[in-house]
Chains A and B, each alone.
Chain A
Amino acid sequence: MERKIRVLVAKPGLDGHDRGAKYIARALRDAGMEVIYTGIRQTPDAIASAAIQEDVDFVGLSLLSGAHNHLFPEVARLLREKGGEDIVLFGGGVIPEEDIPGLEEAGFRAIFTPGTPASEVIEFVEKEFSE
């Protein structure tokens, strides 16, 4: 029986700059994972619903606009509400250091800031998956 790591990569909110999200999606793909890319300007509800239907192990969010303190916890809340409490959340983008503890408290296992090598994200996903 083959069990592939499935990851949903999405961008909530209104910023349309998705190079980072695409870069991570591609890197995870090359690490042998199945990556569902849902694109830019997604509502938290659309992201959480897609994660449930796709039965992913991880949801990775990317945001550059500054609305992460609102949108990231909202995705976490909706995922729990829909029965996806076991899905591991991680985030990335332009996120100030001081906001990270709050996001971790909201259920994010890791926040990656600009300059993080892709290998670090892959390592995180593989480690979390094996646990």
Chain B
Amino acid sequence: MDRSQLDSLAEAVLAGQQRPVARALSMVEDGHPDSHELLHRLYDPGRASTTVGVTGPPGAGKSTLANRLIDSWRRDGRRVGVVCVDPSSPFSGGALLGDRLRMQTHATDPEVFIRSMGSRGHLGGLAGASRDAGEVLAAAGYDPVLLETVGVGQGEVEVAAIADVTLLVLVPGLGDDVQTMKAGIMEIGDIIVLNKADRPGIDQLETTVRTSFEMMGEGAQPPPVVRCSARTGEGIGELAGLVSEAASGAGPRPERALRRARLMLDRILEEKGLEIAEQLLAHQYGGREEALRLVMEGAETPYGIGRSLRAAAMEMLE
């Protein structure tokens, strides 16, 4: 893509045009060589759309709940972006993306943009490109942007680092699983949603959850716990209120914008650092395989390689 094509694509995305937004999302998702050039053009330091993460075990009703939240935000006249992730097969690489199915009532509303993604081997509950996809939607004027994770187990806590507000959705019937989930996932919810509250076992679930927070230590403020039924709509109003509250509690706009910039820079440093290191490795050793051969021959160690790459970089900087 040449400069003028990128410029006009960026312009169309900023204007919120559907097809260009969709194309931009694909570029980001596919790791298109120009995707960073595009994101560079879309970046605005003052922008601070609220990112709402929705996570929880498979079948907890995350998508249906998300659908209810979209209803509520639409009634307030807000334009809503959604990125929903389902797992990709580690064998075929294929994926059945079924979250949209629960949100199809909004399909014909251009003020709601829903994008389904396969996790494509990325661990952590999201797709590798979820954050950048959220950026594209925010640039297109969607606020809030909702990020729905794959059905999670215990350790998929990545969403909490990206979202301003994270909803942890739990349901009755998981019993002791709640206990086993406690260590990782139970710590990331800014709001705990007890979904399917019309089902038996909801009282027990609430007790278990509240007890687990009491045990989490002195001084720590337990997150609000709200009962919902995404099926009947019960509790959704209360939940939407709690989300707004938590979003404003996530700090004033400049603070959130700074936090977002920091997260993005961290990731860029990681990515670029690796890229530069690979180039240095190619330059100093003739690539990975060559370096590995030296290690196996006993002529070098991985640590020694690290030291000499760093020394080479320092020399170039001087």
Contacts and interface: CB of A to CB of B under 8 A. Distances in A.
Interface of A: 1-4, 25-26, 28-39, 42-43, 45-47, 49-50, 52-55, 82-84
Nearest to B109: A49
A54 B107 CA distance: 11
B279 to A, nearest CB: 19
B107 A38 contact: yes
Contacts of B113: 53
Contact of B18 (A32, A37, A38, A82): A82
B93 to A, nearest CB: 5
B25 A29 contact: no
B25 A55 contact: yes
Contact of B108 (A2, A29, A49): A49
B101 A39 contact: yes
B175 to A, nearest CB: 30
Contact of B31 (A2, A50, A53, A84): A2
Contacts of B25: 55
Given A1-B32, A49-B107, A29 B92 contact: yes
A81 to B, nearest CB: 11
A33 to B, nearest CB: 5
Contacts of B100: 36-38, 50, 54
A56 to B, nearest CB: 9
Contacts of B116: 34, 36, 54
12 contacts: A2-B120, A4-B118, A32-B93, A36-B100, A37-B98, A38-B100, A38-B104, A39-B104, A45-B108, A49-B18, A49-B107, A52-B22
Contacts of A32: 89, 92-94
A37 B93 contact: no
B92 A31 contact: yes
Contacts of A36: 97-98, 100, 116
B271 to A, nearest CB: 15
B23 interface: yes
B26 interface: yes
Contacts of B23: 55
Contacts of A55: 22-23, 25-26
Given A1-B32, A4-B93, A32-B92, 18 more contacts: A1-B31, A2-B30, A4-B120, A29-B92, A29-B96, A32-B89, A34-B118, A37-B97, A37-B98, A42-B104, A45-B107, A46-B107, A49-B110, A50-B114, A53-B113, A53-B115, A55-B26, A83-B18
Interface residues of B, number: 32
Contact of A54 (B22, B31, B93, B108): B22
A97 to B, nearest CB: 31
A54 B116 CA distance: 7
Question: Which A-B residue pairs are the 3 nearest by beta carbons?
Answer: A46-B107, A55-B22, A29-B94
A82 to B, nearest CB: 7
Nearest to B99: A36
A54 to B, nearest CB: 6
B33 interface: yes
B30 A37 contact: no
A35 B95 contact: yes
Contacts of B115: 53-54
Nearest to B31: A1
A37 B26 contact: no
A17 to B, nearest CB: 16
Nearest to B32: A1
Contacts of A3: 30
B61 to A, nearest CB: 16
A31 B94 contact: yes
A26 B96 CA distance: 7
